[in-house]
Amino acid sequence: MTVGNRDLDGATIVITGASSGIGRAAATALADRGAEIAVVGRNPERTNAVAAQVGGRMFVADYDRLDDVRHLADALLAVYDHIDVLANNAGGLVSRRGLSVDGHERTFQHNHLAPFLLTNLLLPRLAVGGGRVISTASAANLFGRLDLDDLDGKKRRYAGGWRAYGTSKLETILFIEELARRMAGTGVDAFAFHPGLVTTGFGADSALLRFGQFVSRGSLGLSPEQGAAPLIHLASVEDVAAPSGTYFDGLTPNGRTLAVAHDEDIADRLWRKSAELVGL
């Protein structure tokens, strides 16, 4: 099966978490290939700087507020009559348990609820020309523990945020698989990927990662450009050569997951509960 690059001239690509790290690296690379980039970030100054660098548009949203996500979707829908790629890259590790403005555990909201809401609100534009959703997941899904009756993790130990982070990335994979099923036949496809351990601002307040950087003398992990490679690939190839819903470990399809990541009933129930929580 031949896999060729898509012509990105005139393509609209929305990248969340694009003000730094792999999001910024992907925005730069995809803009260089001719795409128009909607640069979404939380920090206005950094987001504006990246938008200016890649010749794109700046959109600011704080995933601690679901209303910000709704306003972001409204702004994107007002500007673009079609969206070719939505890259759900924003999120991260929150090392201390806390609640969002909406009353949800912050890691759960940042990494799952906010991108779930944004994707659903943008589906009409993604469906115009057969768009693609790409979500940044993680091998950390392997130590996730999903409890559909405790999505905010009130009953579990927080453990520096790692269990919540792993669970949120398990939810990302379940979401992408369910999205692929629900969009079958519409032309919209969906993929998730693990970028590897990337040296960015990720987990900057995590004692474990700070220790790792100390003992490795700052050499722990991949560069943002290396970590962005799967996102760039999935956004730019015409034929991914893997079914919609596939989770990639780097550039390799069918990365390791917990068995529950492929449970269709669990995925459907997670979707329905998430929709209820965000008011869809």
Catalytic residues, by residue number, are 165
Tokens of 191: 């993929």
Q: Which residues pair with 194 in a beta bridge?
A: 249
248: left (phi over 0), alpha (psi -120 to 50) or beta: beta
Q: What share of the chain is helix, strand, coil (3-state, %, to 5)?
A: 45, 15, 40
**CB of 5 within 8 A of CB of 11?**
no
Query: Identity (one letter) of the amino acid at 74?
Result: D
Positive or negative, the CA dihedral 44, 125, 106, 181 is negative
Buried b (16+ CB within 10 A) or exposed e, 157-175: ebebbbbbbbbbbbbbbbb
**Can you give 10-64 as a three-state secondary structure string?**
CCEEEEECCCCHHHHHHHHHHHHCCCEEEEEECCHHHHHHHHHHHCCEEEECCCC
Longest dimension (CA), the chain: 50
Helices (H), 80-223: 106-108, 114-126, 162-182, 207-215
- DSSP character at residue 139: G
